[in-house]
Amino acid sequence: MDCDIDALLKCHDSLDNDLAKRFSSAVEDFQAENETAYQIKVQRVRGLFDRRIAQDEQRLRTLREAARSPRMIVLTEKLLQADIRNKELRLTELKEKAAFDIEQTQVAAGVFRVTGP
């Protein structure tokens, strides 16, 4: 074979290091974007459900103060509990979707000999 094996190994190591740096940079960028999107979604979910929960709690206080029927109070309590559960469920779903696993495996490696015309 008419090639310098040491030069090829050095070139391969250099390429491997460069690709590893690029991959690491891309992963960091992706993580930052993913975290930003996750935080925005969390804020939206919390805002939506916190408003609903506050409304349910106010409605419940009003019903109790007005001595309304126990049936209406129980119904409002169930709505409040459902909103609390749904908020936690949605936040858990968002957290699970935001998690990711970057698996890196070598696909191929080789040496190409290029000759001119």
- Flag whether 8 is in a domain: no
- With respect to residue 39, please indicate whether it lies within any of the assigned structural domains: yes
**1 within some domain:** no
Tell me if 19 is assigned to some domain: yes
Residue 66 CB partners (closer than 8 Å, separation 6+): none
- H helix intervals, the chain: 5-65, 70-98
For residue 12, what pLDDT is reported?
A: 86
Find the Cα–Cα–Cα–Cα dihedral 37, 39, 42, 43, rounded to 10°: -110
Residue 57 and residue 80 in contact, taking contact as beta carbons nearer than 8 Å: yes
Residue 82 counted as domain residue:
yes
Domain-embedded: residue 4: no
How confident is residue 6, by pLDDT bands cut at 50, 70 and 90?
A: confident
Biggest alpha carbon–alpha carbon distance for the chain: 96
pLDDT in tens, 24-73: 899 899 899 999 999 999 999 999 999 999 999 999 999 999 988 999 99
Q: What is the domain range of residue 19?
A: 15-95
- Identify whether 108 is part of a domain: no
pTM of the entire structure?
0.65
Count of C-beta atoms within a 10 Å radius of residue 80: 18
Query: Domain total for the chain?
Result: 1
Report the chain's terminal Cα–Cα distance, integer Å.
Answer: 20
Residue 8 amino acid letter: L
